[in-house]
Every structure is written in C-alpha cells, then in structure tokens.
Chain A
C-alpha cells in the first residue's frame, strides 16, 4: 500500500489562473507564547467537478479541517452555521455571509477524479478584508494519495496564515506494542502524522527500539535484537529492505541517529560495560570514537548544521545534557536544574533542545535553549520520554506510558508552548516516535 502510494504519487503544483495580488492582509496568526484565541475559519465541502469526485471532495475538506483544528491555533465554524453554500469554485464568495458567522478565514476548493488521478484546487479567503489570501493553487496526484493532497492544502493554509511552514504532509515511524508488560511484542511501524495509513515494517519476533528517520525520510535507523544482541539496523522505507550496520562481536550498539547530511550515524557503543559515543560512515562502515569516559554517554543528536552533538551522560553522578563539537572533544554541560535529564533532541530550527526530565518520581517533556537556559517543562506524568520534533519545530511528539500492571504506551503531541496536549491515534500501544521531514 505504502510503496504504491510513494511510487505513484506525483504531486504537481501550479498557481491557478485568476490574477490575485500578492499581499499581506490583516488575516494573520502570530504564534507567541501568550494565551491565544484560535482563529475561526470555515472549510465547506470541496466542490466535486465530476461524479467520481463527490466522496473525495467531502473527505479532503474534512482532513484539511482535522489538520487545522488539530493545531489548536484554528477553530472550525461548523456547517450548521453556514448562511451561503459554496456550490461552484468559480463563483464570487459572498463575504457578508461568512463574516456574519465570524469565519475569519474561508477555504474553498474543488476536486476532479479521472480514473486513478485526482486534481485538487483551492483558495484561501480573508473574509473580513473581503479578498483572497495568496493565490489559488492546484495539486494533481493519485487517488491513493488523496490524504496527502489534503495535507498539502492544509500545510499551505497554515503557512499563509501563520507565516511558518506546516507539518501535515509528514509521517511518523514508531514502535507498535501489543501484549502485557512482561510479554510485550514490538514491531516497527510507519504512519501519516495523524495516524492514518499504518504499515508495519518488521515482524514482532525480536525487540525493536527507537527508530529514527533520515533527514530526507527515505531511511530509518533502529536498534534491533534479531541476533539476540542489540545491533543497529538501517531500513529502506520504500522497499522495507534492511541491513545490520557493522559491529564488533561482544559489543552492543544502540541509540543511533543520522547526521544532517544522512551519510553518518552517531550512536552508543558499549564494550566491557562502558558506553561511549561513536560516529560511523554508513557507506564504508568506518568508525571513530567521540567520547572516552568511564561514564554512560548515550542518546546523541546533531544540531541541524551538523557542527555539534547534544547527548546524555552520567559523568557528574546524575544524568545531564552536554554539548560537544561533532568531532568529539571537550563537552559542556547545558542542563542546570535538579533531577535527571535524557534523550535530548535538537529542534529542526536549531533554537531549542527537547528532552526528557525525571524529577521527584515524575517524568516530563521539556525544552531549553541550546545553551541550557530558559528551561520549560511542557508535560508531566508517571512515565514519558523520547521527544521528536515536527518538521517545523512547533510541535513535539513523545511516548507516555501509564502506571501499573496494565500500563500501556501511547503517542502524544504537545505544542512547544505547552498547550494542545493530544493523544495520537494508533492501533494498540505505541512508543518511540520519530517524525519525518515534510514530504516533497
């Protein structure tokens, strides 16, 4: 299913013919840390341009609405409030009718289906200014990829109104979990960011942990116990082929992450009970050692420019976060608070580091600046860990596990302001998410 989707989804994007001036209208969400009222908008069912498109025209508008409302920045004005209907994509918008129901933004669209191919057109209207926001756009693709086209529309709307890139046309690789805690089965799975189109990448015959997307989303690194001992695997997303990375007998390798150029992997290697950080060239297998200490060094993550690595170490006696040059050498401690810190991940914007904090018997997901200042805890619960960033650096997804014998892991998202905490829809238990970049 996924291979077909990836293989045949040809996205064509073109600006629609109607002349519309580029402008910065008053319709704008400034995303700040302050409390903000969601922006009311309406997205009527898209207009089917032929009979075959009627179902999809409705579904696409629903996915666009789910994406936008799901951010917490937008609030949909429901159909029941509509005064006028959109029955033709070309007809002029009756602004007073939308203004009357306080829909500040209006998204109109049309869908045509011909065999396996589908075309989606849309426009974004600034209702109170009575004009179009940006230009109309048209996407063409396959029917199998219709959800992606809806996400593309929502990304474009989000971007025009907030001024930031969206994150809806993206995927998440994670560990699917079934069974009780003492007999848990784990397998790698991949899905759209919103939980749709789940596909399994491995079977559950051996433990798999902590998958990580490559910078372009084409490959996944993970730790697997296929041989009985932890090894790092690299998996090709398109054909689900995998291979084990070179490792030395009697050692354990884990906690892999790609370099921003996708050529190298930084990881933890344990030998004789001691865990240090290494970097490996994926093509040649050539390794070099980055840390050399009797303490545990793990959970490394590159800065987006590839020049630095943030990691976790217990060299001070408790687990803290450190930053060093990507070539190794002296590291400086950045975490300052009390408690234990782990799983640091550099944001795609480069400005923040997300982390797990364990303090007073509770776990938190938090963010800090890259020098360790301005720490903010976004969540709190019995057990949570493993943050991963949305492609635009606005949202964090992580694992939360409930307490007790029936405890189960789920994926959650939270805005970096700490608002809009939500459970991600997955079939059964899920842990260790890794968020892909925006798809091309």
Chain B
C-alpha cells in the first residue's frame, strides 16, 4: 500500500507541476523512483485538449474554495465538481486523490479535521454524480500546505480549498 500511495502521489505531483500553483509534493523525495509510469504521456495535451489532465486542472478547475470553518459547497464549487465528474466519467484511466486544506487561522489538529471534512464533501459530491468510490481517496493537509503565504483574507480564501489531483488508474 505504501508503494501504491507513493506512485499515486508521484503521478499527481508530476501532472500538477504544469499548474500555476504546483509544488505540494516537491518535498517528497520518497516519491522518486520506481513508479513505472510514463509521465511524459500523462501531460501530453494542452489545456485546450479536452482529454488532457491540463484541461482538467485549468479549464474545468481542479479546486473548490470554502468559507471560514465551513465545508459546504457553494454553487461555483458544484459547477466545478460537475465538470470534474463528467471529465472523470470519460477519462476512466484516472483516479483521484482529493486533498483538503485550511487557512492558517486555527490550531493544527482542528485544521487537519476540517481539511478532511472538505475533502470528504468533494468526495460525496462526486459520488452523487456517479463517480465510483473506489476511484477516490481523500487526505487532509490541514494548514500545512498553503499556496498563498500572506496573512490576509485574500490569501486565506485561496488556501481554504479542496484540490482534486489526478492519479494513475492502476489501483483500480
């Protein structure tokens, strides 16, 4: 399982590397070797190619945002997730890891639990849109992986997020 998780993270990390807010897994050298996945083909398409991961990440949008201390999905978020669900229904080679995140305004433990709520809210929504539960994993990073680093609401708003990372479908 460790191996599997690592290879999933590798693919997720590499495909995200083309995205503006990349780099959450840059600090994980453990995810370096032996995945056996041909990553160059995984990022072959451009954001305008509807079959490409870039299209999923940028054109559909790989993330949804949340209000302070909340994990409910607003209409924007649901639209994004509708797009994600239909893309994943077409592109069955991909599974997903849904990451939940929080802003820095809270204690470490609570934010881990809050991030899990957010990741799970996305999972439940994608389930309701027909995506198989076996294709989804969730993880929370709490406040450990902010993408914006200022201590103002403009940054906090972007950090309170759930990100759907594409991973290889090898885990079935």
Contact = CB atoms under 8 A, between A and B. Distances in A.
Interface of A: 180-186, 204-207, 209-210, 223, 226-230, 249-250, 252, 254-255, 268, 270, 272-275, 296, 298-299, 312, 314, 319, 340, 342-343, 356, 358, 382-383, 385-386, 401, 403-405, 407, 432
Contacts of B28: 205-206, 228
Contacts of A181: 146, 149
A405 B109 contact: no
A342 to B, nearest CB: 4
B149 A342 contact: no
Contacts of A299: 107, 109-110
Interface stretch (B4-12, B34-42, B52-60, B84-92): B4-12
A435 to B, nearest CB: 17
Contacts of A314: 110
A249 B123 CA distance: 16
Interface in B84-123: 104-110, 112-114, 116-117, 119-121, 123
7 contacts: A209-B142, A223-B112, A249-B1, A273-B119, A273-B138, A342-B106, A342-B109
B26 to A, nearest CB: 7
B107 A230 contact: no
Nearest to A299: B109
B116 A270 contact: yes
B6 A254 contact: no
Given A252-B116, A273-B71, A383-B104, A230 B140 contact: yes
A343 to B, nearest CB: 5
Contacts of B71: 273
A407 B109 contact: no
Interface of B: 1-2, 5-6, 8-9, 23, 26-31, 71, 104-110, 112-114, 116-117, 119-121, 123-124, 137-142, 144-151
A205 B113 contact: no
A268 B109 contact: yes
Nearest to B30: A205
B30 to A, nearest CB: 5
Contacts of A207: 141, 144
A404 B112 contact: no
B116 A342 contact: no
Given A185-B27, A206-B30, A273-B121, A254 B112 contact: yes
A383 B108 CA distance: 11
A121 B108 CA distance: 45
Chain A to chain B: the 5 pairs with minimum beta-carbon distance, closest first: A273-B120, A342-B107, A275-B113, A181-B149, A228-B5
Given A206-B30, A252-B116, A407-B151, A227 B1 contact: yes
Nearest to A272: B120
A297 to B, nearest CB: 8
Given A228-B9, A403-B151, A407-B104, 8 more contacts: A206-B28, A210-B109, A229-B139, A230-B112, A254-B112, A342-B107, A343-B108, A432-B108
A152 B63 CA distance: 55
Nearest to B121: A273
Pick from B5, B105, B116 the residue with the most CB of A within 10 Å: B116
A183 B25 CA distance: 9
A181 B15 CA distance: 22
B141 to A, nearest CB: 8
A401 to B, nearest CB: 7
Contact of B147 (A182, A340, A383, A403): A182
B150 A252 contact: no
A134 B57 CA distance: 72
Nearest to B6: A228
A185 B20 CA distance: 21
Given A252-B139, A385-B107, A405-B149, A268 B2 contact: no
A227 B2 contact: yes
B106 to A, nearest CB: 7
Nearest to B69: A314
A183 B107 contact: no
A182 B27 contact: no
Contact of A184 (B114, B123, B140, B144): B144
